[in-house]
A and B are shown apart, each in its own frame.
Chain A
Amino acid sequence: MLNILGDFIGELRAAGIPVSMSEHVDAARAVEVIDLGDRSLLRATLGATLVKDGDHLPVFNTAFDVYFSIRSRESAEALLGDELDGRERDGDGAAGATGPGQSRGEGGGSTSMSAQELADLLFRALRDGDPDAMRFGAAEAVSRYAGMEPGRPVGGTYYLYRTLRNLELEALEQRLLAGTLGDHPDHLGERLAHDEVTSRIERLKSEIEREIRERLVEDRGSEALAKSVRRPLPEDLDVMHANREEMAQLERALRPLSRKLAVRLARKRRRRRRGPVDLRHTVRRSLSTGGVPLDLRFKPPRPAKPEIFVIADVSGSVASFARFTLHLVHAISSQFSKVRSFVFVDGLDEVTRLFEGVEDPAHAVARINAEADVIAFDGHSDYGRALVTFHHRFAKDLTKRSTVLILGDARNNYHQAHAEVLADLHYRAKAVYWLNPEPTSYWNSGDSIVAQYAPYCDRVIECRTLRQLEAFVGELA
């Protein structure tokens, strides 16, 4: 057990969850006092001792499924009852014995059921919300459709996709809905029925995913599989290359992140060193000590809040990065005396007004695409032209208190750079920072011309993840 635990913790650390030595010891002690046969208890135990952040739980759960999956058929018989978070403990009899399909790890096809029978089985399972039937159906579906090939170093996403595509879940969903819709005359009932069906289908999907993962563990062993299914924590995801699901994760992570940042900065500001001695107040206080100023009073600190000008490239490749940054900067806008936002592709437009009076910056960010006038010609980023436009229209507003943030990958599509314009902006403003969402090693390759702008920036910063972004924005305030 201790060896497995050590490996498991190694995997958690590799996935980015910080596990300290003393937490390792705690976990080792905790597993001594629990019943190891109870898988959900083990999960809760390790979760409570090793993971100290709610956002890390999904990563932990994936790793747990891989490391403490059912390793062999024999123990599978005994353990299957605990699989579904131990919720369906009474189910090991029927489903446990027949659950894993006969053609484990082989190409699909050779199952006893026809496609129609399987579809009917799943339909009934979903309609009745029967977990045992669902587990059985998931196993059948995987045997039939996934086409798993032993020894291939994959994480199972492709198998999942293949199974789901063949199952035609949309048709299944329609069928389930058709069965319930009749009874609901009003909108609410309809919506509830819809959400219920969606949640059941989600459950089936996760069941299939679990089944695939289990078979993969059996095929290749925990350690190898863990490497392929390892997913980075939301704050470490590469913003530019996030897929749709990861993007949703990022969106979710962004809101608490910006809230925490705002709280932290507000506290920092309040607790900063005190200002100069407040003479009037001190003299007034000294009256109670006979005119001796024992108790010095200070003026509250008034550190100058910076003015921020954000100039963001919102062309396809870096749009999401720009959105996140605008969101974050506006979420902490109380830390700045003024925030003005500009977006560009090959034309440039001010979008500050979109953020005015809006409580949630996310809504304003969502409107940028529809309402900002950013395309002047062909819709390919043109940094030179955007900078010239900015300089022409807004440079007069820059003062020695303004900080300019430029967001983009500096891929100029071989247009003219107009770096001299940036030089003038740098001269007018307090500071110019360039945030580049590309890894440093890609800079200046192809049409990226970071090097031409860099001399006129105070810093050019690689900013690929939310963590890096948060650190930078926090520094700014």
Chain B
Amino acid sequence: MSALDPREELAQRLGLASVPPVRFESPDEVKKLLAENDYLSDEAIASVIYLADRLAKPVLVEGPAGTGKTALAKAVADSIGARLIRLQCYEGLDESKALYEWNYRKQLLRIQAGRPEGAGSEEWHHLEEDIFAEEFMLTRPLLEAISASDPVVLLIDEVDRVELETEALMLEILSEYQVSIPELGTIRAKQIPMVFLTSNNTRELSEALKRRCLYLYVGYPSVERERDIILSRVPGISSALAEQIAQVVRSLRSIDLKKAPSVSETLDWARTLVVLGRSEIGDEDAAATLHILLKYQSDIERATKELLGRSRPVA
């Protein structure tokens, strides 16, 4: 027995007319397309995106803050020309904010408008069926992504902020690409959307959620990759300066700081130096602009001392 291709199988289950074509031919193509949208990926990132598409599975992206997790989802959406639907998670997020809600004001209006004098019970039965139709529903991001007919990328941002119970809401969507609504029945996806979840790892996510996703850890980039990111995102920067910036940031990350500089902060710093018209970083410049990279006074003091303050004895 030969196993069915995962995409075919899912398409059959969703009752799609045809299997949606594969979005990427190979990891290299992913890399190329992302690069065109100003996102420099690496081997691991490209491979996981490729797999997510081939296997039709959601991707759970984890890593320190500011390493481009959200940007990755945006870049993927841009590169396949899809609409990005974003669900920002927070503590207290519930079904009515994430999935759907009945628009009860509209329902009320419908009841009042359509009440003829002395209507019988049959009329009421009719009405009841009527007011629980899709027309009276407010779709929230999750349902919107499922019911969309144009290509979409669903981004569930910072999923570690919701409670464990709310996480369970997402499980049906993540594994089956469908939503069950008691009054309406099951709504199945009209296409296979790409789904990204990001997490800053402030708490353990449930096993059930992790099991349904592919896992991608996005750490701080290597010096070479960070240099390339700076070069592609900061216009007018020389490659020598970009290299030096990347090196400084690596040294900073090796010091034990409360909050290591993120890639986005690196880019801010690079832009600042370009605006200041520097072609290389000296002690003075670094001391004067370190607050862009570091956000705690204790970190700044520590970094100044380690990197600039006293000369290191050799070895």
Contact = CB atoms under 8 A, between A and B. Distances in A.
B202 interface: yes
A188 B6 contact: no
A22 B211 contact: yes
Contacts of A23: 211
Nearest to A170: B315
A48 interface: yes
A40 B43 contact: yes
A23 B3 CA distance: 16
Interface string B197-213: 00001111001001101
B44 A359 contact: no
A461 B203 CA distance: 26
Interface stretch (A193-201, A406-414, A440-448): A193-201
Contacts of A370: none
Contact of A187 (B27, B63, B202, B283): B283
A190 B312 contact: yes
Given A48-B214, A187-B311, A267-B163, A195 B55 contact: no
Nearest to A44: B47
Contact of B244 (A43, A47, A170, A192): A192
Contacts of A151: none
Given A192-B251, A359-B258, A260 B215 contact: no
Given A20-B207, A267-B163, A187 B44 contact: no
Interface string A142-174: 000000000000000000000000000010011
Interface residues of A, number: 51
A449 to B, nearest CB: 38
Interface string A49-72: 101111001000000000000000
Interface in B262-315: 281-283, 286, 298, 306-312, 314-315
Contact of A48 (B26, B47, B211, B306): B47
Contacts of A40: 43, 47
Interface of B: 3, 5-6, 26-27, 43-44, 47-48, 51, 54-55, 57, 59-60, 62-63, 91, 163, 201-204, 207, 210-211, 213-217, 219, 223, 244, 247-248, 250-251, 254, 258, 281-283, 286, 298, 306-312, 314-315
Interface of A: 18, 20, 22-23, 26, 29-30, 32-35, 40-41, 43-45, 47-49, 51-54, 57, 85-87, 170, 173-174, 177, 181, 186-188, 190-192, 194-196, 199, 256, 259-260, 263-264, 267, 271, 359-360
Given A52-B215, A53-B215, A187-B309, 20 more contacts: A20-B207, A30-B51, A33-B5, A33-B55, A34-B47, A40-B43, A44-B27, A44-B43, A52-B213, A54-B63, A54-B201, A173-B315, A187-B307, A187-B311, A190-B311, A191-B306, A192-B248, A192-B251, A195-B251, A199-B250
